[in-house]
Structure 1
């Protein structure tokens, strides 16, 4: 009895983090479907089911459902998805296949799924669970540059109309916001950020401050 309890506990410690990753991915897919105005009722149901799933086959089946949803999205957007996911979805949609799945394979499929989700989020300008960390890291790096620029050129440009116009001139077409509604700074070089936020600067190619913040 104790042995079975320990086994169940050990499996739960491994599976629970994977279920949590899948849950976040499903929520990201729902957000994408909402952005595209497609039906996401089935996937919302799957989110609730994933909270109740207890076994590796359960997780695998729910993962394949997400892959199927993502394949449809990629088709609508003319995006080439990860071929590993496509092959897995087409060849293993049976309960028998799910009984023979390994944790290692589940992990690899979740990684592939996350990469495809991030590609779509970047295409649509969506900040979700899958790309939030990378986006916030780029945003924090940019803000670190701006804090250094401010020591040389205070005050920095803070007129949204001017900033967005300069973004557009650099080809930045997607302006993103955090869940709190704060503007996220695009992942630009220090040179580009200098051109956007330094006021009345005709040329920034040889500005001394760039040497100090690189």
Structure 2
């Protein structure tokens, strides 16, 4: 489905988010908004995700960065349709930015759309892009203080991924403390432990995507 988008209709963020959500729902496209601080490993996680799902699902990506297309190029190398949004200093993506990319996709053929948000644990949490699920990635080198220090981000997400668990022997990060902090802030949030580099725990993340995809297409 190719969309001719009239930008003036989408001046309000809530209107744009509703427009996006309805479009995704009509096309039975699962949309996951992936957030984290810079360097947590979102793009590496996406690369490994694509490798494991591309033979079963048609995947596309909207890649958010302040500048450059470096991360987008990594995903395009895997044969994935990837559209870059450069915010030129903006600390988050918003629904209008997402809506402007819609004409570049054929959503009738897209099963899963990942939106890789700007690396930031503050601003992205407050913006509805029209996604089905919000996922935040926390890497163990960041330390245990991130969950209690940035409660809004972790309170508003459906799934928290703790990445780079292969580094646990070398850094001061306590998994049990992280679980406790997350449970206090968001008792309903799920938690996955992965290493996008070694592949440990990736299957658990992949199974979660498959489960929520089945939920998405039923509705």
Larger radius of gyration, structure 1 or 2?
A: 1
Structure with the larger RCO, 1 or 2 (CA within 8 Å, 6+ apart)? 2
TM-score (norm 2): 0.26
Answer 1 or 2: which has greater strand percent: 2
Answer 1 or 2: which has greater helix percent: 1
